[in-house]
């Protein structure tokens, strides 16, 4: 699976760890930054990852900041992106099965490395349940109404 990964300084260490783990798990990844732990602004990196997913450059995106909240807010501004902040396995599973989330946001100051890997693994392995399709169609129609064809 093609996955883009991005973080701000608060998520940098966890991002680096998850990138290594994703590659060792056989995924094709692209690191969109940040490239160090120097202070930076999460909206810049969340936008890069969400845009890559929205434009079809990647199937999924993972964004890590301190809490996971800000990046989810930014990512969800883009048509075609369904970002979910998940700090537990239930939310990870639900975000995929019910919402067909294509972007995952994590809070590096909320969860540890081991749980983050379990969340990502669950999120990547959970398939969308087609019975929820009509709800996703409503989201897509709303985006088309608000943003036009994208």
Of 46, 95, 90, 94, the residue nearest 72 (C-alpha): 46
φ, ψ (nearest 5 deg) of residue 57: -75, -20
87 and 110 Cβ atoms separated by less than 8 Å: yes
* From 9, 27, 98, 132, active-site residue: 98
Enter the DSSP assignment of 51. H
27 is catalytic: no
Contacts of 63 (CB under 8 A, 6+ apart): 5, 6, 7, 11, 42, 45, 46, 49, 50, 71, 72, 75, 83, 103, 104, 105, 106
Residues carrying an active site annotation: 98
């Amino acid at each position: 699976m093609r996955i883009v990964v991005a973080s701000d300084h608060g998520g940098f260490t966890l991002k680096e760890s998850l990138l290594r783990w994703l590659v060792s798990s056989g995924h094709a990844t692209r690191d969109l930054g940040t490239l160090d732990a120097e202070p930076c602004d999460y909206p810049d990196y969340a936008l890069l990852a969400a845009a890559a997913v929205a434009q079809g450059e990647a199937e999924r995106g993972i964004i890590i900041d301190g809490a996971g909240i800000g990046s989810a807010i930014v990512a969800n501004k883009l048509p075609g992106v369904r970002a979910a902040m998940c700090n537990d396995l239930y939310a990870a599973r639900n975000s995929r099965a019910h919402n067909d989330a294509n972007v995952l946001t994590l809070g590096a100051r909320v969860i540890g490395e081991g749980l983050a890997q379990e969340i990502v693994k669950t999120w990547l392995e959970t398939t969308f349940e087609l019975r929820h399709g009509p709800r996703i169609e409503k989201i897509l129609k709303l985006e088309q109404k608000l943003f036009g064809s994208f």
